[in-house]
Amino acid sequence: MTIDPITAPRRWSLPKFDLTTLRQHGGLAALVILLVFNLLVTPNFFELQTLFVNISQVATIAIVAIGMTLVIATGGIDLSVGAVMALSGALAPLIFLSPFGVANPELGLVAAFTLPILAAAAAGLFNGVMVTFLGVQPIVATLILFISGRGIALVLTNGNLQTFTNPAFSFLGTGRILGMPFQGWVALALAILVSWMVRRTVYGRHLLAVGGNEKAARLAGAPVHLVKIATYVMCSAMAGLAGMIVTAINSASDAARNGLLMELDAIAAAVVGGALLMGGRAPIVGAVLGAIVIQLVKFTLLANGVEDEVALIAKAAIIIGAVYLQQTRSE
Amino acid sequence: MLADSKTFDLRELLRSGGGTAQTRGVWIALILLIAFGLFRYDNFGSQYNVLSFLNFNSMFVLISIGMCFVIMTGGIDLSVGSVAAFTSVVAALLSSHGLIVAVPGGVLAGMAIGALNAFVILRMRVPPFITTLATMLAAKGGSLVLSGAETIGVDWTTNFTRLGMGSAFGTIPWTILIALAVVIVAWIILERTSLGRIVLAIGGGDEASKLMGLRTERAIVFVYVFSGLCAGLAGVILASAFGAGQPLEGVGWELTAIASVVVGGTLLTGGVGSIPATVAGALLLGLIFNILNFENGRGTISLSAYWQSVIRGNFLLIVIVLQAGLLTQRKARSQDG
């Protein structure tokens, strides 16, 4: 497979929104349709309040979808993101509620922000090593943590809901800057940072090369294993961050529910955003668009009194439709 | 890396029928675990424990068999758990008409979703992973809509619950016999029919099999419909054995099934596979939970049910690492030769 010129490293420029972009991003078309529909039909849609509610919901999906897009760009997949969310989401309160955390509130808070992310990154390291050095297929390699990751989180919390009152930590999920939910800013910052990485850094070049044609990339001297491991580590770290945000939103950690089925949402968002499952493309802006589409579908149906169950069927149709469009495009 | 070994190797194919180093591992592990259980717990080998263990795990054996066929073609079926939940609702709704309607109704519903999977994969050329991910969501939505998001009690006045709760000749539960029958049929199809050979050939190399003139499309339709059938049957058993159609059940079943298949030595790249080893894999994963229960019963340690998934994950890890070792060995050998 050749590297797609659309996403190949190039000079940094704002994404152009013309007809070609529309064809490239089925997700964008879906987004426009959803927005128009909502403006016409949904009551109170065109309000700041609605926007912020949706942003606070979409941020976690977007953050995980960005990481997932990177993994998919290598030709892999990460099923463990939901479990990693549960793990880091459970760890954070354990740390600042521990005797050490209570005795040293500041240090405890710093540890509560950093250690769960490091634990998540370690999970990514595990995934990456399995995929590269042991040559295990990504689905199987990440299946291990998918199964046991949530189990570890449940064992750590003994299956209990941990509630807490910690304004500093809760800021992650409930804080606002300039009116916009804090996690919205985090997602935006990550999207910009990772887009820049993909387009402008050596890592980005290697990433797309590895996903496009691994053998050729290796012969060309790209550090294939290192690139893949770094990608899985980043994906897991972002999932860990998302897990902490969910815990902060609820002011409670629920290891049984945090991040449940998130891997599906993230994969769907990445695919709707234009990621190719064979790898070689990393449309980060697309992933964010995909996350917004998925969230908007949920919201549209919910706001118009359609049951949650039907939303699942709609989501299924969107996923199939998006990939089908991709297939016809690549032929 | 694994894609390198995707060439079609006839000798490998013939050898895989008789149990390879990969499938041997699961048998050794299963025998060791059973021996451990028999040695350590008094009632482990009791008729009650053996039968109730097999009875409960018959559903997982069924979906693992269906999954095994799909994986042998190099595909994957993530929809089995949702399909089982869906068909349990269908069967529960039809239960007032008795077994004669409810069983075919549930099984056909499962096969219909399998056929839909095959259609989207073959005609719309959407990868199996995405297709079955979507039907997983759709089947979940469908079962919630159909049931009004509540468990549907079955009709106890008809013979419907006899399937899941009754026993043949008063001893062996029907569910075990059904699972056994499906296992035998699946084994015969894989080992003794041209269809089975084509399934393995597709996994070995899709393009090559097509060029050889094999009717690959028919085989792909078969594996997804068969997987739907197995999941449908599991759903009917679920409704019948627990007396309710359960739209929220089946979460994570697809991964249990995939894990069983992988533990059974079937490669996810396709082309290699064994039905008995898959059954052994499913039983092995179930046995871990069974032994955990016995261990807690002794009172010396107390591991919560949450440990189950941690232990399962570690088992999967060990098997995968062993498999990876075997693969690299074989690759090194084939490069020498």
Over residues B70-79, mean pLDDT: 91
Query: Does A210 contact chain B (CB < 8 Å)?
Result: no
- Mean pLDDT, rounded, for B151-159: 85
B276 falls within a domain: yes
Instruction: Indicate whether A5 belongs to any domain.
Output: no
| Torsion angle in degrees (nearest 10) through CA of A124, A3, A61, B85 | -90
**CB contact, 8 Å: A42 with chain B?**
no
pLDDT in tens, B9-50: 445 444 444 455 667 778 888 899 899 999 988 888 888 889
DSSP state string for B234-272: HHHHHHHHHTEE-TTTTTTHHHHHHHHHHHTT--TTSS-
- Cβ of A155 within 8 Å of Cβ of B307? The answer is yes
- The top-scoring range by mean pLDDT among B115-129, B246-260, B298-312 is B115-129
Domain, as residue range, for A121: 25-35+44-330
Of B129 and A202, the structure prediction assigns the larger pLDDT to A202
How far apart are the CA of B1 and the nearest CA of chain A, in angstroms?
6
A144: contact with B, CB 8 A cutoff: yes
Which among A136, A150, A312 is the nearest to B138, CB-wise? A312
Residue to test with chain B: of A131, A307, A323, most B Cβ within 10 A: A323
pLDDT band at A328 (very low <50, low <70, confident <90, very high): low
A186 in a structural domain: yes
Inter-chain touch B306–A151, beta carbons under 8 Å: yes
CATH number of the domain residue B167 falls in: 1.10.3470
The tens digit of pLDDT for each residue in A164-223 reads 988 889 898 888 888 889 999 999 999 999 999 999 999 999 999 998 888 888 888 889
Cα B260 from Cα B26, distance rounded (Å): 10
High-pLDDT (> 70) share of chain B, %: 88
Return the minimum-mean-pLDDT range out of A36-45, B94-103, B170-179, B302-311. B302-311
> Which candidate from A139, A159, A319 shows the least CB-CB separation from B306?
A159
SS3 per-residue string spanning chain A: CCCCCCCCCCCCCCCCCCHHHHHHCHHHHHHHHHHHHHHHHCCCCCCHHHHHHHHHHHHHHHHHHHHHHHHHHCCCCCCCHHHHHHHHHHHHHHHHHCHHHHHCHHHHHHHHHHHHHHHHHHHHHHHHHHHHCCCCCHHHHHHHHHHHHHHHHHHHHCCCCEECCCHHHHHHHHCEECCEEHHHHHHHHHHHHHHHHHHHCHHHHHHHHHHHCHHHHHHCCCCHHHHHHHHHHHHHHHHHHHHHHHHHHHCEECCCCCCCCHHHHHHHHHHHCCCCCCCCCCCHHHHHHHHHHHHHHHHHHHHCCCCHHHHHHHHHHHHHHHHHHHHHHHC
Q: Which domain holds residue B322?
A: 2-331
Q: Which residue of chain A comes nearest to B145, CA vs CA?
A: A309
Q: Are A12 and A200 in contact (CB under 8 A)?
A: yes
Residue of B nearest to A136 (CA): B324
What is residue B109's predicted lDDT score, i.e. its pLDDT?
95
Per-residue pLDDT, B4? 39
d(CA B16, CA B33): 25
Q: Do B141 and A311 touch (CB under 8 A)?
A: yes
Distances (CA, A) of B280 to B67, B256, B273, B286: 14, 13, 13, 10
Contacts of A136 in chain B (CB under 8 A): 320, 324
Query: Is B336 part of a structural domain of the chain?
Result: no
Q: Does A6 touch chain B (CB under 8 A)?
A: no
Residue in chain A nearest B143 by alpha carbon: A309
Residue A58's closest CA among A191, A178, A165, A163?
A: A191
A152 touches chain B (CB under 8 A): yes
Nearest-angstrom CA–CA distance, B127 and A320: 10
* CATH number, domain with residue A251: 1.10.3470
* Alpha-carbon gap, residue B262 to A142, rounded angstroms: 13
Q: Compute the average pLDDT of residues B154-180.
A: 85
Give me the mean pLDDT over the A288-295 stretch.
90
Q: Computed over its alpha carbons, how large is the radius of gyration of chain B?
A: 20
**Rounded distance between C-alpha atoms, residue A269 and residue A289, angstroms:** 8
Q: Do B313 and A149 touch (CB under 8 A)?
A: yes
Residue A317 and residue B138: Cβ atoms within 8 Å? yes
A150 and B CB contact within 8 Å: yes
Contact residues, chain A, for B259 at CB < 8 Å: 143, 147
Contact with chain B for residue A271, Cβ under 8 A: yes
Residue B221 lies inside a defined structural domain of this protein: yes
Note whether residue A111 is domain-resident: yes
How large is the average pLDDT for residues B249-265?
A: 85
Kindly state whether residue B337 falls inside one of the protein's structural domains.
Answer: no
Minimal CA separation from B37 to chain A, in Å: 23
User: What's the pLDDT at B5?
Assistant: 41
* Count of structural domains within chain A: 1
CB contact under 8 Å between B310 and A148, yes or no, is yes
pLDDT for residue B337 is more than 90: no
Contact B127 A277 (CB under 8 A): yes
Q: How far is A42 from chain B (nearest CA, A)?
A: 23
* pLDDT tens-digit series, residues A224-273: 999 999 999 999 999 999 999 999 999 999 988 898 888 888 988 998 88
Q: How many domains does chain B have?
A: 1
Min distance B168 CA to chain A CA atoms (Å): 36
Give alpha helix (H) positions in chain B: 10-16, 21-40, 47-72, 80-94, 99-123, 128-147, 162-165, 174-192, 194-204, 206-211, 216-242, 253-263, 275-298, 306-336
Task: Using the structure block, give the residue that is written with the tokens 């075997």.
Answer: B326
Would the CB atoms of A130 and B312 count as touching at under 8 Å? no
In this predicted structure, which of A86-100, A227-241, A258-272, A307-321 has the lowest mean pLDDT?
A307-321
A323, closest residue in chain B (CA to CA): B126
- The predicted pLDDT at position B18 comes to 43
At CB < 8 Å, which residues of chain B contact A?
A: 1-2, 76, 120, 124-127, 129-131, 133-138, 140-142, 144-145, 149, 255, 258-259, 262, 268-269, 304, 306-310, 312-314, 316-317, 320-321, 324, 327-328
- Across the interface, whether the CB atoms of A148 and B314 are under 8 A apart is answered yes
Look at residue A276 and tell me whether its pLDDT is greater than 60.
yes
| Partner residue opposite B268 with nearest CB, options A137, A308, A320 | A137
Contact flag A155-B304 (C-beta cutoff 8 Å):
yes
The band of A15, judged by pLDDT with boundaries at 50, 70 and 90, is low
Q: Which residues of B50-87 are buried (b: 16+ CB within 10 A; e: fewer)?
A: ebebbbebbbbbbbbbbbbbbbbbbbbbbbbbbbbbbb
Is residue A296 in a domain?
Answer: yes
Contacts of A267 in chain B (CB under 8 A): 130, 133
C-alpha to C-alpha distance for B232 and B92, rounded to whole angstroms: 12
Kindly state whether A1 is in contact with chain B, defined as any CB-CB distance less than 8 angstroms. Answer: no
- Computed from CA positions of residues B250, B255, B259, B261, in that sequence, does the dihedral angle turn out positive or negative? positive
- The residue among B130, B136, B251, B311 with the most chain A CBs within 10 A of its CB, best to mutate, is B130
> Distance from CA of residue A147 to its chain's centroid?
19
pLDDT tens sequence across B189-232: 998 999 998 988 888 777 788 777 788 899 999 999 999 999 99
**pTM reported for the whole predicted model:** 0.81
Tell me, what's the pLDDT at B7?
43
Closest-CA residue of chain A to B315: A144
More confident position, A81 or A41:
A81
**Could you tell me if B191 and B29 are in contact, meaning their C-beta atoms sit under 8 angstroms apart?**
no
